[in-house]
Structure 1
Amino acid sequence: MGLRRLLVTGLGGTLAPHLARAAEAAGWQVLGWDRRRIPVDDEQAVAAHLQASRPDAIAHLALGSPSWSRGLAEHAAQQGLPLLYTSTVMVFDHEPDGPHRPQDERTSKDDYGRSKIAGEDAIRGAHPGACIARIGWQIDEHSSGNNMLATLEQWQREQGRIAASRAWIPACSFMTDTAQALLALIEEPAAAGRVVHLDSNAESALSFDQVVQGLARRFERKAWRIEVNEDYRHDQRLADAGPARLPSLTDRLAQKP
């Protein structure tokens, strides 16, 4: 019997490579998606590629159109495959305030959040058994792209300071922890059909200035000039009544790299 085959979209991004490494360590064969060869908005090409690649599960982490999400979900539903779609805390606006729960109304007003709402709806409409995992800002020492630590470094480099609001409680987690949690959801039959919130700060409730100060200590960023303000107000935490799937942010910030 061969390795289980996990199709992971978004391997050119930041989080998907972490998931791929975790999956390979757990005995999966990871399949990617080359958009140059298989255009994501060509429904026939998408369907043909899925039939040819024969994945045993699908993890959809890439940005893309609702039609691509729908095509992946339709194939997974037809074949009875686990499907995980990674969404975002940005489906929620800061009004009404959080903590935000899986069943809460999605209130986003920005383009990114609304695009992820459309992706969620496309996935759920085509595959009611899919798992939707909403995540916050990711933290990693080595990744570039949409990574909190890299962004803070950029702010310090370009502005000579890091402005951090004490009135914002962000949803955030370390990428390696999120990747392990996503893999567990793929492998967990009970996750089918659920919306799951993954946020290491859900219980810690650290404000953004506390997170930044904790990162500066953990990664020895002594040159950071942190300026605390109250410019942005939002309890952005992703609360979930289910089991804790991530270590607490307080504990993670106390650890050495």
Structure 2
Amino acid sequence: MKLLITGLGGTLAPALADAARAAGHEVLGWDRQAVNPDDEAASARWLDAQAPDAVAHLAMGSARWAAWLAARSPRFLFTSTAMVFDHDPDGPHDVAAARTARDDYGRYKIACEDAVQAAQPQAVLARIGWQIDLYRRGNNMRCALDAQQANSGGVDASRVWTPACSFMDDTAAALLALLEAPQPGVHHLDSNAEEAWTFDAVARGLAQAAGCEWAVRVNDDYRHDQRLVGGPTQLPPLSRRLPALKRTD
């Protein structure tokens, strides 16, 4: 399969590209410096010349671009986010739940979801939570908590927040499976969906797995059961990657 992945300069897209190449697929990216997505004529010429079999749209960009790509790609996957759900009403959030985001990022992703589904009814919408990786740099939980420890001398972790989160390699494997055998509609990809670990427990488990000496400062500052539940796609549980997570009750 020839796979176009947008967002290869980001965090998750390179992991998906690695998984796709390992599975024997050809991967190409979209260089927005060379082909401006706002130039539809140039974009159409480039896309026709490349003729990908499938498109995974992970890049930030306008809802118009997402819809344009989706309309021209019968095998199309768009990554959305747990942030389409606000903390009120609380979760866990089902695939069919009303999207309640109030912040700009969540509303942006809702607009993209709607545009994609209107343009391509067979599209796959994959909502994801905070990505975890022990070694990759970029926008992931380990790097964010490293930075917080360095900047403030500790990691602030709410015990009343149950985050949607998954290891990046598990997310990439699930996205690739949805490209290889598409299942149209909304998918929730969350390794914390069943086990429901609170953020303070996740932070401690990640610190042990990564060998990080974080001072985890437990608080009640943010209350939200953010878990993404429902749908046909399931990820391995978080405890498989973080063995320090063990039930004591």
TM-score range, shorter chain: over 0.9
* Secondary structure in 1 matching 2:72: helix
2:107 aligned with 1:114: yes
Q: Deviations over 1:170-204 (max 9, x none)?
A: 00000000000000011114x12x10000000011
CA distance in structure 2 between the partners assigned to 1:169 and 1:214 by the alignment: 14
**Alignment identity in percent?**
57
Partner residue, 1:45: 42
Gaps of 5+ in 2: 245-249
- Residue 242 of structure 1 deviates from its aligned partner by 2.1
C-alpha separation between the residues in 2 aligned to 1:43 and 1:84?
20
**What SS does the aligned partner of 1:254 have?**
coil
Does structure 1 conserve the Cα–Cα contact (< 8 Å) formed by 2:188 and 2:231? Answer: no
Distance 1:99 1:69 in 2: 27
* Corresponding residue for residue 56 of structure 2: 59
Aligned to 2:240: 251
Map residues 145-224 of structure 1 onto 2, 5 A cutoff: 145-189=138-182, 191-192=183-184, 194-221=185-212, 223-224=213-214
Counterpart Cα distance in 2 of 1:216 and 1:138:
15
Question: What is the DSSP-based 3-state SS (H/G/I as helix, E as strand, rest coil) of the residue aligned with 1:69?
Answer: helix
**CA deviation map 1:84-132 (0-9, x unaligned):** 0000000010000000011111110111111111111111010000000
Partners of 2:127 and 2:84 in 1: how far apart? 9
CA RMSD of aligned residues (A): 1.1
Residue-pair matches, total: 244
Q: Which amino acid aligns with 2:243?
A: A
**Per-residue Cα deviation, 1:43-72 (whole angstroms, up to 9, x for no partner):** 222222211110000000000001110110
**Equivalent residue in structure 2 for 1:129, among 122, 127, 133:** 122
Q: Which residue is 1:31 aligned to?
A: 28
Task: For residue 27 of structure 1, report the CA deviation from its aligned partner.
Answer: 1.3
SS at match of 2:80: strand
Contact 1:47 1:75 in 2 (8 A): no
The Cα shift of 1:143 comes to: 2.3
- In structure 1, the residue matched to 2:247 is none
One-letter code aligned to 1:236: Q
Contact kept, 8 Å, 1:135 with 1:199, in 2: the verdict is yes
Aligned-partner Cα distance in 2 for 1:41–1:140? 33
Partner of residue 237, structure 1: 227
Q: Which runs of 5+ in 1 are unaligned?
A: none
Deviations 1:2-30 (A, max 9, x none): xx210000000010000001101111100
- What TM-score do the two structures reach when normalised by structure 1? 0.93
TM-score norm. by structure 2 comes to 0.95
Pairwise CA distance, 1:250: 1.5
**Quick one: distance in 1 between partners of 2:134 and 2:233?**
27
